[in-house]
Structure 1
Amino acid sequence: MSDRGGRPSDRTESPASSGETAGSFDPASPTSSAPVADDGASTGRLVVVCGLPGVGKTTVAERIADHVDGRIRRTDVIRKQLFDDPEYTDAETEAVYAELLARARDDVDDGGAVVLDATFADARFRADAQETAAEAAAEFDLVEVACDEAVVERRIERRDGISDADFEIHLHFKELFDEVASEHVVVDNSGTEAETFAQVDAAFGERATDGDAAGYDATDGDATGEGTAVEGSTVDGDARSTTLTDAE
């Protein structure tokens, strides 16, 4: 099903679980083709940022990318690169996530860091990402972004980004989202941008660079959520921390 289910014919893509810390993998097995450091360890890092549509995954992913000096890949952009007129079918979603993980594998094989910004409602896709990291990366982190429903509704109403998800889609995926049962970080994006960033900083260390994140809404001081800060981003550019608009 399309990342847990055929969407209704309109355009689609959890409650926070109890995990509190990011998981990390030991270096990949000796058969891994990933680049290795002088001590033989793989050097890549893969971070999955998951959650319901509208909770602010991109805001969180951008902050994490600053910490890990990584690039961001989003399923929304990949879908629209692969399909001129996306229909959000099961087969389409399978292809999108396969491509997402293939690109992520290339990133970590090159020794870089990549942040995957997508719903990942189906636990199977999260498991596939974890397997990719286990094979090729030095570190893996799973982050679930949560947000109060009333805040999500308000943000979705005013955003104008690449994501096709509306509030009806948010509610649809709330029914389908597989609980995140493995060890992970939970970021509550219900409050201000500063409060959200403080949670990310606590999990990922000191912020690499200063400056305001592009998803901030000066009107009420909260993080505007996914899709608002990515227009005009360069797809498949070489620079790290470049948002590659790809998440549902």
Structure 2
Amino acid sequence: MVIIVFGLPGSGKSYFASRLADMMHAVHINSDLLRKEMFRERSYTDTEKAFVYSEMLQQAKAATGQNRNVVLDATFHRNETRELFVAGIKDETGIFFIEVVADERTIMQRLKKERPDSEANFEVYKSIRQQWEPLNAPHLILESTNKNIGAMLQKATQYLKNDDGADQ
């Protein structure tokens, strides 16, 4: 099973994705950590992003080839990128999308804090929000607050077990 956790910077997607991966004993592939490993100086250009997503896809294929579940964690803000993963991971276990959202005030507060793995600030958030392409396929949408990780994980687990193809 491959679970693509996506959302805007500061939405809480990485916090959620890491806990979901732990709970499922899945491989967690985080774009921010990968970017730091791949590039000494990060520019967030389209070319750099393409390299990061390509490496994420290769690592996901390797993990699924070993019958491991995978949680992918990135903005995935463009349909083209999402489609690349759907086409690239042709495995019988399926691909599930979980979108993490939060209100802008919460996002602004989160992005003001030092975050060890992400360099995204509110300007990056606004830029990606402007480029955002909604996913028009069945997926789970979870609203992140600062106090609901347990409920988010419970909803995700239920969705992954009982996926009926309907938007949640």
Match of 2:100 among 134, 145, 163: 145
Cα pair 1:185 1:203 within 8 Å, conserved: yes
Structure 2 counterpart of 1:198, from 135, 145, 151: 151
Count of aligned pairs between the two proteins: 159
What secondary structure is seen at the aligned counterpart in 2 of 1:73?
Answer: strand
Residue 22 of structure 2 is matched in structure 1 by 66
Output the CA distance in 1 between the equivalents of 2:60 and 2:97.
Answer: 14
Please list every run of at least 4 consecutive aligned residues from structure 1 whose deviation after the TM superposition is greater than 3 angstroms: none
Cα 1:163–1:137, aligned 2, differ >3 Å: closer, same or farther? farther
Q: Can you give the 5+ residue segments of structure 2 that lack an aligned partner in the other structure?
A: 159-168
**1:171 pairs with one of 126, 138, 141:** 126
TM-score, normalised via structure 1 length? 0.60
DSSP-derived class of the 1:136 partner = coil
How far apart, in 2, do the equivalents of 1:149 and 1:159 lie? 18
Structure 1: gaps of 5 or more residues? 1-44, 206-248
Looking at CA atoms only, which structure, 1 or 2, has the larger radius of gyration? Answer: 1
| Identity between Structure 1 and Structure 2 (%) | 28
Give 3-state SS (helix, strand or coil) of 2:72's partner.
strand
The answer to whether the Cα contact below 8 Å between 2:144 and 2:152 also exists between their aligned partners in 1 is: no
Q: How far apart, in 1, do the equivalents of 2:87 and 2:110 lie? A: 34
Seen in structure 2, the aligned counterparts of structure 1 residues 203 and 80 have a Cα distance that, compared at 3 Å, is closer
Q: How far apart are 1:122 and its partner, in Å?
A: 1.1
Deviations 1:25-77 (A, max 9, x none): xxxxxxxxxxxxxxxxxxxx111000000111112112321343202111112
Q: Distance in 1 between matches of 2:24 and 2:96?
A: 11
1:56 partnered with 2:9: no
Aligned pair 1:154/2:109, yes or no?
yes
* Backbone CA RMSD of aligned residues: 1.7
Q: Amino acid of the residue matched to residue 153 of structure 1? A: M
Query: What amino acid is aligned across from residue 55 of structure 1 in structure 2?
Result: S
